[in-house]
Structure 1
Amino acid sequence: MQIRSFQLSDYRSVAELLEEVLSEECCEETMGAFARQLSWDSELVLVAEEAGNIAGVLIGTIDKQKGYVYRIAVQMDYRRQGVGRALVSNMNNRFRQRNVLKVLIAGDKHNELLRPFYDSLGLKPIDFVQLTQPLSIVAG
């Protein structure tokens, strides 16, 4: 499995993955944030690729010296195989390279469903932050 930066040729596969694994409401919110993050810094959108297929995606952003994991999505067939962990680990490396002092999870209702996954990474409830503004304003 390869973790790499999003490329324009990934757009259709990533959009299909998000539509498949996220609720309709979550997908709509995520697609907007995804587009905004691509316009600011596509290096903070990571994809996990396995045998030419997009297995997962992680959308991150940075505001001042805080890094945010906004959304992570993994194809059903690739769950429980370390894809999510690899995406988070890679994003944390990118955050460190950019001198991010604190990494937080966007604590919206959609990420609350992933609390067991984040707990398995050793993240504490304090690492979840409620975004009071949409991603477009947080990272602007």
Structure 2
Amino acid sequence: MQIRSFQLSDYRSVSELLKEVLSEECCEETMGPFARQLSWDSDLVLVAEQAGTLAGVLIGTIDQQKGYVYRIAVKEQFQRQGVGRALVANMDNRFRQRNVLKVMIAGDKHNELLRPFYESLGSRQLDFARMSQPLSIVAG
């Protein structure tokens, strides 16, 4: 599996993955912030590839020296194979490189459904918290 920064050529595949994996409401709420994050800092949008296929995506952002995991989505056929765990670990490393003081999970009803996954990560406690501003208006 390869984890890398989003590239423009990934846009269609990532959009399709989000539509496939997320609920319709969650996908609608995610697309605008996803596009804004790409315009601010595409290095905080990670994709996972397995055998040449897009397996997952993680959208992160930084707000006032706090790193946020905004949204994660893994294709069903790749779930429970460590893709999500690898995406979160890679994002955590990127946050550390940028001197982020604390890593948080953007607290919304969609991420709340993934609480068992985040709690299973174990080694580093990730707190659920509201961002000081929603990703739709954070300036990167």
> TM-score, normalised to structure 2's length?
0.94
Q: Are the equivalent residues in 2 in contact too, given 1:61–1:139 (CA < 8 A)?
A: no
Equivalent residue number for residue 66 of structure 2: 66
* Number of aligned positions between the proteins: 139
Give me the identity figure in percent. 83
Q: Which runs of 5+ in 1 are unaligned?
A: none
| Structure with the larger helix share | 1
Which aligned pairs between 1:100-119 and structure 2 lie closer than 5 A?
Answer: 100-119=100-119
Q: Deviations over 1:5-26 (max 9, x none)?
A: 0000111110000000101110
Which aligned pairs between 1:43-62 and structure 2 lie closer than 5 A?
Answer: 43-62=43-62
Which aligned pairs between 1:1-140 and structure 2 lie closer than 5 A?
Answer: 1-122=1-122, 127-131=127-131, 133-140=133-140
Q: Cα–Cα, structure 1 residues 24 and 13, in superposed 2: closer, same or farther, change >3 Å?
A: same
> TM-score, normalised to structure 1's length?
0.94
Q: Deviations over 1:46-71 (max 9, x none)?
A: 00001111100000000121100000
- For residues 25 and 96 of structure 2, the distance between their equivalents in structure 1, rounded to whole angstroms, comes to 32
- Please give the secondary structure, in 2, of the residue aligned with 1:9: helix
Q: Which runs of 5+ in 2 are unaligned?
A: none
Q: Are the equivalent residues in 2 in contact too, given 1:108–1:131 (CA < 8 A)?
A: no
Q: CA RMSD in A?
A: 1.4
Equivalent position amino acid for 1:65 in 2: Q
Segments of 4+ in structure 1 off by > 6 A?
none
